[in-house]
Amino acid sequence: MTLSELLEGLKIKWKTGLSDVVIKGIAYDSRFVEDGFLFVAVSGFSADGNDYIRDAVNRGAVAIVSEKAAADLISAGQLPAQGTVAFIEVCDSRGALALISAAFYGRPSNSLSLIGITGTNGKTTTSFITKSILDATGERAGLLGTICYITGGERMTASHTTPESLDLHRCLNEMVQNKMKYAVLEVSSHALALKRTEGCSFSAAAFTNFTQDHLDFHGTMEEYFRAKSMLFNYVGPGGAAVLNMDDPKVRSLAKSLRCNVVTCGLEEGAMIRAENIRDKEQGTRSKGFGGTSFDVQTPKGSFTVDSKLMGRFNVYNILMSIGIAYSLGIGEEAIIKGVRNARPVEGRFENIDEGQDFLCLVDYAHTEDALRKLISEARHLTRGRIITVFGCGGNRDRTKRPLMGTAAAELSDVVIVTSDNPRNEDPLEIIKDIVEGIGGKNYTVQPDRAGAINEAVSMAKAGDTVLIAGKGHEEYQEIKGKRHHFSDRETVRAVIKNAKGKMLN
C-alpha cells in the first residue's frame, strides 16, 4: 500500500517526500521498525516517540508521522536534514496512528459486526456472555478484552483491556481472515480518551454502569463519563446503543444519542427487563450455587434463561448481553442457549472449592461500588462471617482508597488490608490511605498478600466466606516496576490444601 493511500482523509498540517512510496508495515515503537515501514511518533506517558525517530530511520523507516515540526526534529538531530524519508506533520499522532492502521489493514471493522462494551464494572463478564450467545448462532465470534484475545487461532493473554490502535486493527483483520462474523471488544475509558478506537465502526455499543474509578487519569468524574460516552460516536449507520436503564448516569445518555437505543434493567420502562429472579440450588450447597434463572421481557415477547453465573450483578451482565443480541436481531433460541452455555469467568466471583467447609470467592472488584456489590452478594450466600481481603493499586486513583476501606468495614465482619499491585508506591502508604476509611472497625493489616490470604483462611470457620478482592484473574503482582508471578487463585488453593493436610496429620 502506498503512503498516499494510507494518508487519505487524514488531517495533515505539512508533508514532504514521495507520496507513492510503498509502505510495508507500521510501528509506533522504533524497536519494531523494519525496512519499508512507516513510523508514527506518539508521545506516551513514560517515553516520547519523537525521541526515537532517528532510531526508526536507522532501522529502515521510509516515512515518519509526528505532531512536531520537521525543522524542530532536524535541529534535535532526529530527522535527516537531506529529506531521505517522507515526513508528515499532523495535529494528533494518536488519531493518525489509528486511522492509518485502519487503512493499512483494509478497515476490518467494516467487514465485522463489531460490538463494543464499556462501563466501570462488568465489561469482561458481559463480553464473555455476549460471545457465548454469538457462538450459539453458529457463526464465529472473536473477542478482545481484559483476560484474553481470541482472533481465530490460539487464545492469547491480553496485554491491555483494549489494544493500541495498530494492534487492534491487526487483531480485527485476523478475525476477518479467519472468517469470523462478530467481534466483541471491551472498550476502556483510557482507550477512548487515547483514540485507540478511531477508524472503527461498531454495530452495537453497550454501557454497563458508571461509578468512580480512574480519576488519576481522567481528573474528574465528568471527564471520566465523557470518555466512556465517546464510544457511541463510533456506532455506524443502523447500529444501536445498549444502556443499563437502572444506572441514572447511563440512562441520561438515552435522549442525546442519534443511534437506535435499547435499554436493559430490572425497573419498569426498560425494553429488556428481568423478572422473577431465582437462585438455583446445587446438591447440598447453599442457595445460589447452581446459578441463576429469570424471565426476560422484551418488545417481541418473553422467555426464560438459565445461567451458571451467580449474583444479582450477573443478572445485569446477562441482561446487557441479551440487549446486545436483541439489537443485532439474534433470536431467543440462540440467546437462551448462549446464556446457558456461558461459564463463570475466571477471577469474577469465582468459587474456589477444595472441599473446605467455608466458601471462598476470588473477584476482580477494585472499585468501591464493585466491592460493595461483591460483599453484599456474598452475604446473601453466607451463614457465618464474611472475611474480606483486599488492597488498592499503586499509582492509581488515591481518592477511592478510603472509600473502599469504608465499604469493606461496613459490610464485612473481618477485614484484612493488604497489598494489591503497589507498583512504584510504598505499600504501607497505600494501606494507610485505605485504613483512613475503616476507622476503628474490625480489621488487621498484613502487607504481604500471600500472608493475608493465609491469615483469612486460618481464621475461617464452617459457614464463613473468605473474599479475596482486587486482582481476580491476574497472575502477577507489580512491585517497584517489576512484575512477579502471583495468583490469588493459585495461592488460596495451596493455602486451603495445606491447611487440610495439617488437619489430617
Q: Which residues, in sequence order, are bridge partners of residue 204?
A: 115, 240
Tens digits of per-residue pLDDT, 150-201?
A: 999 788 988 888 999 999 999 999 999 999 999 999 999 999 999 999 999 9
Average pLDDT over residues 403-410: 96
Domain ranges of the chain: 3-103, 105-341, 350-504
Task: Write out the CATH class of domain 105-341.
Answer: alpha beta
Q: What is the reported pTM?
A: 0.91
Confidence at 440, pLDDT banded by 50, 70, 90: confident
The C-alpha R_g of the chain, in whole angstroms, comes to: 25
Are 215 and 114 in contact, with CB atoms under 8 Å apart?
no
pLDDT of 503: 55
And the C-alpha cell for 306? 438459565
Q: Which residues, in sequence order, are bridge partners of residue 185?
A: 116, 144
CA gap 407, 101 in Å, rounded: 43
Q: Which residues, in sequence order, are bridge partners of residue 363?
A: 469
pLDDT of 285: 45
* pLDDT at residue 313 greater than cutoff 60: yes
Q: Is residue 39 helix, strand or coil? A: strand
Fold of 350-504: Protein-Tyrosine Phosphatase; Chain A (3.90.190)
- 300-307 CB contacts, 8 Å cutoff, 24+ apart: 300/326, 300/332, 301/332, 303/332, 303/335, 303/336, 304/336, 305/335, 305/336, 305/339, 305/340, 306/280, 306/336, 306/339, 306/340, 307/339, 307/340, 307/342
pLDDT of 284: 39
Average pLDDT over residues 455-469: 97
Mean pLDDT across the chain: 94
And the C-alpha cell for 236? 455506524
CA gap 262, 253 in Å, rounded: 11
Tens digits of per-residue pLDDT, 233-290?
A: 999 999 999 999 999 999 999 999 999 999 999 999 999 999 999 987 654 344 446 7
Q: Out of 2.40.50.140, 3.40.50.300, 3.40.1390.10, 1.10.20.60, which CATH number does the structure's domain 3-103 have?
A: 3.40.1390.10
pLDDT of 81: 85
Backbone phi, psi, residue 247, to 5°: -95, 115
Helix (H) or strand (E) holding 469: strand 465-469
And the C-alpha cell for 122? 462488568
pLDDT of 490: 97
Among 198, 327, 217, 185, which Cα is nearest to 264's?
327
Helix (H) or strand (E) holding 324: helix 312-327
pLDDT of 281: 64
Tens digits of per-residue pLDDT, 122-146?
A: 999 999 999 999 999 999 999 999 9
Average pLDDT over residues 464-471: 97
pLDDT of 329: 97
* pLDDT at residue 505 greater than cutoff 50: no
Q: What is the DSSP pairing of strand 359-363 with strand 350-351?
A: antiparallel
